[in-house]
Amino acid sequence: MNIVSMLWKNLWGGSRTMLFPARPKVSEGFRGLVRFDPELCTGCAICRFRCTARAIEFRAGKGDFVWSYDPGHCTFCGRCVEGCKAHALSQDSETPPVYLNIGELKNSYTVARKTTVKAPAAPPPADPKPADSSPGGTQ
């Protein structure tokens, strides 16, 4: 495209901005807000360690833990989602909503630690065969 046609397009091509609250379309694979499913979370805290932006906080308690996410710190890199083996994290495929105050989109979950079900005890070993005391039996 030569400079003249580019100028012409920019000058007369119409507005490229959108009026709020309209949002631009996103491409396939777009990484938006991180979503958390407390039902699937095992409380391993790997996401917290993978998040170098400190958008995820994890606080362990007695019998539960608190998982928090602040999109205001998030860079939408997706490392937390990739590292969650329990598939408890996902990312929206649309742009995050506009917010006016710091921490407005922050959310926090208190999740009870899942108790592991004990495997049933193994049956006791069978009694050893009694020695054969009949005449001619082995001793």
Looking at the Cβ atoms of 23 and 87, the one nearer to ligand SF4 is: 87
CA 86 to CA 36: how far, in whole Å?
11
Size of interface with ligand SF4, in residues (CB under 6 A): 25
CA 71 to CA 102: how far, in whole Å?
10
Residue 86's alpha-carbon distances to 36, 67, 83, 128, in angstroms, are 11, 15, 9, 46
Looking at the Cβ atoms of 7 and 112, the one nearer to ligand SF4 is: 112
SS3 89: strand
33, 75 in Cβ contact below 8 A?
no
Show contacts with ligand SF4 in window 41-100 (CB under 6 A): 41-47, 50-51, 53, 55-56, 74-80, 83-84, 86, 88-89
Show contacts with ligand SF4 in window 8-37 (CB under 6 A): 34
Positions touching ligand SF4 (CB under 6 A) are: 34, 41-47, 50-51, 53, 55-56, 74-80, 83-84, 86, 88-89
